Amino acid sequence: MRLDKYLCESTELTRSLARSVLRQDRVTVNGQVCRNGALSVQEGDTVCLDGNTMARRGPRYIMLHKPAGFACSSEEGDHPSALNLLDIDKAEGLHFAGRLDADTTGLVLLTDDGQWSHRITSPRRGCEKRYRAELAQAVTTELVARFATGLLLRGEDSPTLPAQLELISEQSDTVEIPLSSTRVYLTLREGRYHQVKRMFGAAGNRVVALHRDRIGKIVLDADLQPGEWRYLTPEEIACFDQD
């Protein structure tokens, strides 16, 4: 890794500030002053800034409960970036391992580990994502069957992969509330553009509200309120290596 990049990943310095401290002879590599930002730092090298040993920050893995009105993008557009919700150093270095529309709420995973996120987003891995949808019209048993076999979406050449559509029931302290024909769980193993909304649209229905609560084996933490986040546990991080 280049020395200037190593400094950026070990401190709060930007790339331009890293070059500045290098020019000021404030950086040593294995005890020798170094001004060359392009120097390759090898494993076992000791890099110091102002006499303090630098340790490269490890990869970060984050669970975010995204509220409505935020975009899964690093750039500001019609909606603010969900990165603004993370009160951490250099949040801009993270990327989204699977996006949500601005008006969709729920589980978002962020990381700066490209290989890890690829295991989540690669179509060949078929990582399951579960959504809770509120629909404009009641769901029929025929629609459940259609989702199970796949739907051909407008502008697509091939049907969607089989998807699991389930009606939602809720438990109270004393009684089970009957199944709702407009509230459903939908589990997908692919991630086409606006897929959930397009699937229901192709079936003549409309999504009123959409929330993602699971990606693979990672379930949205019930203690996280909209806009809150936490680091993933080692077990959560490792679960995608088991797929």
Residues 4, 78, 101, 221: which is the catalytic one? 101
Q: How far apart are CA 182 and CA 180, in angstroms?
A: 6
Q: 59 forms bridges with which residues in the sheet?
A: none
Distance of CA 56 to the CA centre of its chain: 23
18 alpha-carbon distance from chain centroid = 29
| Pairing of β 61-66 and β 164-171 | unpaired
Other CB atoms within a 10 A radius of the CB of residue 70 amount to 23
Encoded amino acid at 173, one letter: D
Interatomic CA distance for residues 50 and 33, integer angstroms: 10
**What residues are paired with 209 via a beta bridge?**
134
Closest CA to 63 of 243, 242, 241, 223: 223
32 SS3 class: strand
- Closest of 127, 125, 16, 116 to residue 58, by C-alpha: 116
Would residue 101 show up in a list of annotated catalytic residues for this protein? yes
Tell me if residue 195 falls in helix, strand or coil.
Answer: helix
Residues belonging to the active site: 101
